Amino acid sequence: MADETKPRSRTMRVLRGLWWLVDTGRRAILNLLLLAVIAAVAWTLLHRGPPPLADKTVLVLNPHGPVREQFSGSLRDNALQKARGSELEQTRLRDLLTALDAAATDQRISSALLMLDDFAGAGLPTLRELASAIDRFRAGGKKVVAWGSNYDQRQYYLAAHADEVWLHPMGGVEINGYGGRRTYFKDALDQLGVTAHVVRAGRFKNAAETFSASGPSPETDEADRALYGGLWADYAAAVEHARRLPAGSLDRAIGELPERLAAAGGDGAKLAAREGLIDAMKTRDQLRAALIARGERDGETFRQIGFADYAARFTPPMTGPKVAVVVAEGPIVDGEAGPGTIGGLSTAALVRRARDDAAVRAVVLRVNSPGGSAFGSELIRRELELTRSAGKPVIVSMGDVAASGGFWISTAADAIVADPATITGSIGVIAVLPTAERALERLGLRTEGYRTSWAVDAYDPRSPLDPRLEQVLQTSIGHVYGQFLDRVAAARKTTPERIDEIGQGRVWSGAQARERGLVDRTGGLRDALALAAARAKLAPGYRVQYVEREPGRAERLMEWFGGLTGTTLGDLLQPALQAALPPPLPAPLAELKQQTAWLLQSSDGRRPAAMAHCLCTPP
User: Of 404, 426, 509, 603, which is the active-site residue?
Assistant: 404
How does residue 302 score in pLDDT terms, banded at 50, 70 and 90?
very high
* Alpha carbons 161 and 242: distance in angstroms, whole number: 6
pLDDT per residue as tens digits for the range 510-560: 999 999 999 999 999 999 999 999 999 999 889 999 999 876 555 554 444
* Alpha carbons 470 and 484: distance in angstroms, whole number: 21
How does residue 599 score in pLDDT terms, banded at 50, 70 and 90?
low
- pLDDT of 77 strictly over 70: no
User: Of 205, 282, 322, 392, which is the active-site residue?
Assistant: 205
* Alpha carbons 166 and 168: distance in angstroms, whole number: 7
**Residue pair 418/476 in contact by the 8 Å Cβ criterion:** no
Q: What are phi and psi of 362, to 5 degrees?
A: -155, 160
How does residue 169 score in pLDDT terms, banded at 50, 70 and 90?
very high
How does residue 297 score in pLDDT terms, banded at 50, 70 and 90?
very high
In this predicted structure, what is the pLDDT of residue 123? 96
In this predicted structure, what is the pLDDT of residue 22? 72
Q: What are phi and psi of 172, to 5 degrees?
A: -170, 175
* Alpha carbons 566 and 433: distance in angstroms, whole number: 49
How does residue 7 score in pLDDT terms, banded at 50, 70 and 90?
low
In this predicted structure, what is the pLDDT of residue 483? 95
In this predicted structure, what is the pLDDT of residue 144? 98
The residue-averaged pLDDT of 581-603 equals 49
Higher pLDDT, 17 or 448: 448
- Residue 404 is a catalytic residue: yes
- Using alpha carbons, select from 138, 109, 260, 235 the residue that is nearest to residue 146: 138
In this predicted structure, what is the pLDDT of residue 370? 94
- Residue 86 is a catalytic residue: no
- Using alpha carbons, select from 381, 391, 618, 385 the residue that is nearest to residue 510: 618
- Name the pTM for this structure: 0.84
In this predicted structure, what is the pLDDT of residue 504? 94
- Using alpha carbons, select from 101, 105, 78, 64 the residue that is nearest to residue 525: 101
Most confident of 33-47, 64-78, 223-237: 223-237
* Alpha carbons 404 and 518: distance in angstroms, whole number: 12
Q: In three state form, how does the secondary structure of 240-260 look?
A: HHHCCCCCCHHHHHHHCHHHH
In this predicted structure, what is the pLDDT of residue 581? 41
In this predicted structure, what is the pLDDT of residue 84? 47
* Residue ranges with strand state E in 77-219: 91-92, 109-115, 119-121, 143-148, 164-167, 195-201
Q: In three state form, how does the secondary structure of 426-487 look?
A: CCCEEEEEEECHHHHHHCCCCCCCCCCCHHHHCCCCCCCCCHHHHHHHHHHHHHHHHHHHHH
- Using alpha carbons, select from 418, 402, 381 the residue that is nearest to residue 528: 418
The residue-averaged pLDDT of 343-364 equals 97
What rounded mean pLDDT belongs to the chain? 86
The residue-averaged pLDDT of 331-345 equals 92
Most confident of 313-327, 436-450, 506-520: 506-520
